[in-house]
Amino acid sequence: MAASKDAEMEEAEIGAAAAAAGDDSAGAAHMHAADSQPLKHAWAFWLGNAQEHSGSRGSTIHTFSTIDYFWSLYNSILHPSKLGVGADLYCLKNKIQPKWEDPISSNGGEWTISVGRGKSDTLWLHTLLALIGQKFEYDDEICGAVLSVRVKEEVIGIWTKDAVNEFAQLSISKQWKEFLDYNNSIEFIIHDSGTAAVQCWSSKFPEDPLDIIYNRVPGPLSRVRFAAVCRSWCATAKRHPAPLALPWLLLSPRDSNRVKRLYCLEDNQIMRIPLPTGLVNHWIVNLFSGFEIALSEKQKWIPSSGRLCQPILWKIIFSEPPTSSDCILATITDHSSVALCRIGCPDGGWTTHGINLADIAFCNGELYGLTRREWKLVKFETSVNEEGAPVVTAIDQLLVTMENQQPHHVWLNNMDVSYIFELNGKLAMAARFPWSPNHSPFFKVFELVDNDTVVGMAPGTYKWAEVTSLGDFALFLGPNCSMAVHVPEDRHGGVQRNRIYYTHCRCIEQQDVLQEGGLVFLARSNDSGYPVYLREDEHDGVEMIRAVGYYVRGGPIPPMWLLPPDL
């Protein structure tokens, strides 16, 4: 290696220190191998110099495969703050060369953080401990780490294998910042074996073509890839307001897996998201951002049959954004009751009212429910108790008729499922029923019309008026979440306007073969989980809003729609 004299001396000093460690501490470690904790991977320290091309190998200092040997080496070699300017110290999985062209890392990239001179010792050590201790969810995607000492800064980088695997890249960057308690931004650089300066070709793009390219990016995952190319591409992404998010499908809502799988319809891809670190007995957490709704200890218990318990929440809805202290939470529990609480009232706790509901929804600040028996629509009158918590004071059953409604006993016996939600500022219902003779059940959508808008209606009565087109909206329906979402005209990807996307209300049994016609395999709910399928409803010769159903075979609960933050 054609290094400067200072670098040669420095390399010799580090090598001698490592050799000393091998003679003393490492020898002791080998003598007591039974007491040494082995690592999953063998690792190697390398020393390089910034004056050399990235294809140069550098010099191997020492390898290690146990915790004891690591500490022997680390305590003997120079710490980052004592390295000379221009030094590059690598810690890579064994047999990976310290060059971007190495077959294992050639398609990857590097996450980097920068700190002032002499301030990287602790960050470097914590990075190494996280790597060799397999603390990363995507440990197999990591090649190793490099410390680069420059005139005004010290840069720490983590090398990865696959730059386009955005699930792994985002997870690695997020966890690394958590391990280091690092709050500043970090940068991702894509390795490119064909050029020494990987950012030059992309950073010199003029802004207008970049804007055109970004506007043609089809979905959220692709936008993440775009922003990760380099700083100029990231700046382009930031100039454009994030499009409104469309729902994703959580494939297995109630399993105990620490990593959740979500299906993005826009990109037609599965994304793996690890649960936030330290998640224990937390109630309501955003899987995307880790934001937790601040409930008091009293609000983490719901009264049932005279005692406090933590029941299963089958569905939970918000009267307004949960960041507001005035937001009311309403939920259907497994004890066949509706429960209410207010986020800004920590001493109020939950109040309950026993009623068997199939669905609930807020519309214009009012809470409505759909009964499980006879599909009756009810409206809840609420007030606050002496502690400031919301309470149900009355339940009004609304007198609702329906256009071309089937006889009541036919309706009651053949209804498959029904959901309520807000659509264009009005309460709406989607009901799955065999509306056409000799045809399997399909969804029809209705909006609630009161006597003030329909001539001839009796006072105090309502009518379910059929909606034949959703216009700019798409419906996402399921037992855990139902919502109408506006789909912009220029939106790219797999979500279409005037469509219904629903999760089937029950899971397919193993022996159930009659419903398999037309099922298309989508994914497994988790690493050892149940298969998830999709199927477009039959529509030949029948006037209906087109719908696609998502099914799971043998699982405990159907998939669930989630609305992520703007991506």
User: Cβ atoms within 10 A of the Cβ of 242, count?
Assistant: 12
Tell me what pLDDT residue 507 has: 65
Tokens encoding 410: 């036919």
Tell me what pLDDT residue 451 has: 65
For the chain, the structural domain boundaries read: 5-198, 202-239, 248-562
Q: Is beta strand 417-423 parallel, antiparallel or unpaired with respect to 520-524?
A: unpaired
Distance CA 158, CA 109 (A): 8
Model confidence pTM above 0.75: no
Residue carrying structure tokens 């159930």? 512
Bridge partners (DSSP) listed for residue 420: 429
Tell me what pLDDT residue 545 has: 94
Q: Is beta strand 390-397 parallel, antiparallel or unpaired with respect to 399-402?
A: unpaired
Residues 100/191, Cβ–Cβ less than 8 Å: yes
CATH topology of domain 5-198: RNA Cap, Translation Initiation Factor Eif4e (3.30.760)
Q: Tell me which amino acid residue 503 is.
A: T
Distance CA 101, CA 93 (A): 15
Tell me what pLDDT residue 378 has: 92
Tokens encoding 34: 């039974």
Tell me what pLDDT residue 446 has: 93
Bridge partners (DSSP) listed for residue 146: 90, 157
Residue 434, burial from CB neighbour count under 10 angstroms (0-12, 13-18, 19+): middle
Q: Tell me which amino acid residue 102 is.
A: D
Tell me what pLDDT residue 562 has: 87
Nearest to 338 by CA among 300, 304, 295, 365: 304
Tokens encoding 458: 């009796």
Tell me what pLDDT residue 143 has: 94
In the sheet that 547-552 helps form, which strands lie side by side, from edge to edge? Answer: 483-486, 473-477, 500-503, 547-552, 531-536, 520-524
Residues 50/86, Cβ–Cβ less than 8 Å: yes
Q: Is beta strand 390-397 parallel, antiparallel or unpaired with respect to 377-384?
A: antiparallel
Tell me what pLDDT residue 199 has: 40
The continuous run of DSSP H or E covering 19 comes out as helix 5-23
Residues 369/357, Cβ–Cβ less than 8 Å: yes
Residue carrying structure tokens 């010099």? 59
Q: Using DSSP, how many helices (H) and how many strands (E) does the chain show?
A: 10, 32
User: Cβ atoms within 10 A of the Cβ of 402, count?
Assistant: 16
Tokens encoding 498: 């005037």
Distance CA 218, CA 565 (A): 17
Residue carrying structure tokens 């700046």? 235
Q: Tell me which amino acid residue 184 is.
A: N
- Polymer length in residues for the chain: 567
**Helix, strand, coil: what percent of the chain each, to 5?**
20, 35, 45
Q: The domain 202-239 is classified under which CATH number: 1.10.3720, 1.10.246, 1.10.1740, 1.20.1280?
A: 1.20.1280
Angle at 565 between CA 560 and CA 567, to 5 degrees: 110
Residue 397, burial from CB neighbour count under 10 angstroms (0-12, 13-18, 19+): exposed
Nearest to 147 by CA among 2, 5, 1, 14: 14
pLDDT less than 50: residues of the chain: 1-35, 53-57, 193-205, 280, 409, 511, 513-514, 567
Nearest to 287 by CA among 562, 566, 559, 526: 562
Residues 58/100, Cβ–Cβ less than 8 Å: no
